[in-house]
Amino acid sequence: MLFNSLTFIVFFVLVMGGFWTLKSWSARKNLLLVASYVFYGAWNPPFALLLFLSSYVDFLLGLQMAKSPVGAQGRRGWLLISLAVNLGLLGFFKYGTFLLQNLQWLLAQVGVVYQPPEMNIVLPVGISFYTFQSLTYTLDVYRGDLKPTRSLRDFAFFVAFFPQLVAGPIVRAADFLPQCDAPAPARPGRIAWGLFLMTLGLFQKVVLADTLLSSSAETVFGHPGPLVPLDAWAGVIAFSGQIFFDFSGYSTCAIGAALCLGFSLVDNFRFPYAAIGFSDFWRRWHISLSSLLRDYVYIPLGGNRKGVARASIHVLIVMFVGGLWHGAAWTFVAWGVLHGVYLVIERLLGGVFNAQRWSHSFLSKLVLVLLTYLAVCITWVFFRAADFPTAARLLAGMAGQIPVGDAVLTTRELLQVVVVTVGLLISHWMLRDTSLEVALKRWPVWLLTTVWTLMACALILNQGDGNAFIYFQF
């Protein structure tokens, strides 16, 4: 079920109405659990069973772990089972074909002809999100950071909570399970703020990403031939906006929907295109994933406690994993590793530049923001391109290395990309040191009402067949 669909509107109205009508907290949670499985099963009912099995195994393993003291061998064994089950499911559904293709290639290099079987595996929507979410639970219980829940219902609800189930934010058990204990204290305006966030999220997705940017990105990345520099850059910049508005739109909607039901989810984006440098970018982009990779991969590897060289290797490993998490293709790995290289270079140069007073001036910050943005755009080429030849062709076009290229975008599309991107960069720059809630609180009511109305009208004007969110495929 897509947020940008009529089905979801009816579903959400029914769920929200039922939730606030019910008096019992337990009944409310039961309702949300059933609704979450309906939400997920509406794509492909058998995968709801997979979701339950994954949840049930981690629930049982959490209880088993708690029976042994922290650090005990038995505890580690239960964790290994959890890792094997979760990563095994992920590996089979998401990486099975990819692994076989690479095996085929490797064997071919040593002269062995191997024809892998046709797997035709259907990827369960959002499996990367709920697998990681469920894993945070067993990892936290293993470390002794979290007491296991004794309620299967609460745990299944935590994994399946529909607003964030298929595309995040990735919620940690330690943040969510306590919210299941008792209803959050009433806060005036919470539902209105939730509805505003849902409108904003849908506006980002439907109007900005789908209507104003997606056609340019799709045309450029789908063009089979070389491109003139203007079109190559416009397509890549359009995708930088599309991916942000699409994913941030989903997260904003999810946070808003959860708020309407009395739950708080973590922020997933904090104006990332105003980042100064790449470590700053990753503190602002897909925060729930980057913090998860930091806490569960980077720090356990040793983080920056073992010298600069080891820290650099750890960063590259983390970004390799981050790239692969996004998709079973080497282009995603290249995207992640390129970000890793940026982070390593930044770390090496950071000490030199941070000491300079001029590097803290307004103009320097502005230039650094733009440079960071352009460097991030280059990584998006690998993220979006279907293969390396396409990425290479686009990069060559962007570098002006194409003798004869096509201009494939209409003037209107170019104007849309310029207007939206300039608006995006200015808004991120202006909001980079604050939060949306704080910023909007300074607005007069009439202005906020007008903006809300305009967004709602634009959504109604965009009625129609909803496009799936890009991050669903991950």
The contact set with other proteins (CB under 8 A) reads 1-2, 5-8, 10, 41-45, 192, 195-196, 207, 211, 215, 224-226, 404-412, 415-416, 445, 448-450, 452-453, 456-458, 460-466
Minimum distance, C-beta of residue 180 to other proteins, in the bound complex (Å): 26
Question: Smallest Cα–Cα separation from 409: which of 215, 244, 211?
Answer: 215
Given the residues 326, 339, 360, 428, the one annotated as active site: 326
CA 21 to mean position of chain CA atoms: 33
Residue (156 or 206) nearer to other proteins, CB: 206
Beta bridge partners of 227: 406
Does residue 472 contact residue 167 with C-beta atoms inside 8 Å? yes
Does residue 202 contact residue 253 with C-beta atoms inside 8 Å? yes
Residue (11 or 330) nearer to other proteins, CB: 11
Minimum distance, C-beta of residue 420 to other proteins, in the bound complex (Å): 12
Dist. CA 381–CA 235, nearest whole Å: 9
Q: Which long-range contacts (CB under 8 A, 24 or more apart) does 430-439 make?
A: 431/271, 431/274, 432/271, 432/274, 432/275, 435/267, 435/270, 437/193
Tell me if residue 223 is catalytic: no
Cis peptide preceding 183, ω within 30 of 0: no
CA atoms within 13 A on the CB side of 363: 2
Minimum distance, C-beta of residue 461 to other proteins, in the bound complex (Å): 5
Residue (354 or 449) nearer to other proteins, CB: 449
- Indicate if the alpha-carbon torsion angle 441, 2, 266, 59 is positive or negative: positive
Minimum distance, C-beta of residue 327 to other proteins, in the bound complex (Å): 19
Residue (4 or 138) nearer to other proteins, CB: 4
Question: Residue length, the chain?
Answer: 474
Residue (60 or 448) nearer to other proteins, CB: 448
Minimum distance, C-beta of residue 227 to other proteins, in the bound complex (Å): 10
Residue (70 or 418) nearer to other proteins, CB: 418
State the Cα torsion 101-103-107-113 to the nearest 10°.
-50
Residue (15 or 334) nearer to other proteins, CB: 15
Minimum distance, C-beta of residue 83 to other proteins, in the bound complex (Å): 31
137: amino acid identity, one letter: Y
Tokens matching residue 371 = 């440079």
Minimum distance, C-beta of residue 211 to other proteins, in the bound complex (Å): 5
CA atoms within 13 A on the CB side of 375: 23
Dist. CA 391–CA 383, nearest whole Å: 9
Q: Phi/psi class of residue 441: alpha, beta or left (left: φ > 0; alpha: ψ in -120 to 50)? A: alpha
Question: Smallest Cα–Cα separation from 239: which of 219, 269, 268?
Answer: 219
The residues annotated as belonging to the active site are 326
